[in-house]
Amino acid sequence: MSAIKPVEWTVIGGFAPYLQAVRAMEERVEAIRFGTAPEQVWLLEHPPLYTGGTSAKDEDLLRPRFPVFKTGRGGQYTYHGPGQRVAYVMLDLNHRGRDVRSFVKDLEEWLIRALARLGVQGERRSGRVGIWVAADDGREDKIAAIGVRLTHWVSYHGISLNVSPDLSHYSGIVPCGIAQEGLGVTSLAALGIGATFAETDLVLKKAFVEIFGPVTEARSRRSGAA
């Protein structure tokens, strides 16, 4: 880890248009691949939309209320929107170990440690990607999603954490293909945690450093300037 250079940590203000963000991310990934730009994490927020990953099923698109985008990340349908912190993670696994399972496990651990700093016990579940919160009545709700893709062992797309989104917006899809009774989605706000984006970003950064190594603060940008 000592040989790894600090990752640029960038907060992008405003609502980032999805396709524009993906194009910018793909350009950055190419630059990382060829060594002309350092690794980077973008923290941003999207307007309301649904994305379908490589495993998305048509029947899981129930009543789409917002634009739908097919994307190259892994996983099925998910929602992005106001009140949800998205982190696009562009890391070069050529220098971090070419192990996809280990990388996803590290992303999970990152979220678990960040949530713990906010007083939330996030947990893994076998066969279910993402981070879950168990209720006293046996219900389990997803609070964070993970969907990544690798190109030449450079990662992109990443994670999303529900801070205070409108959870009714998930009703247009079967989130991540999971429709079992007793499973749903939740957020920090729904759990009574009144964390701001700034507070959430801080715990995400601290936990990221523990798992992936040092970061350097890049200049915060407005959407469209990524």
Residue 223 confidence (pLDDT): 67
Calpha distance 32→224 (Å, rounded)? 20
Domain count, the chain: 1
**Tokens 């899809």, located at residue:** 173
pLDDT tens digits, one per residue of 39-77: 999 999 999 999 988 888 888 888 888 999 988 887 888
Catalytic, out of 44, 89, 176, 191: 176
What is the pLDDT of the chain when averaged over all its residues? 91
Question: Is-catalytic flag, 46?
Answer: no
Residue 184 lies in a domain: yes
Beta bridge partners of residue 87, listed in sequence order: 43, 159
Residue 45 lies in a domain: yes
Residue 112 lies in a domain: yes
Task: Assign residue 60 the CATH number of its domain.
Answer: 3.30.930.10
pLDDT tens digits, one per residue of 178-211: 667 778 899 999 999 999 999 999 999 999 999 9
pTM of the model: 0.92
User: Residue 16 belongs to what domain range?
Assistant: 7-222
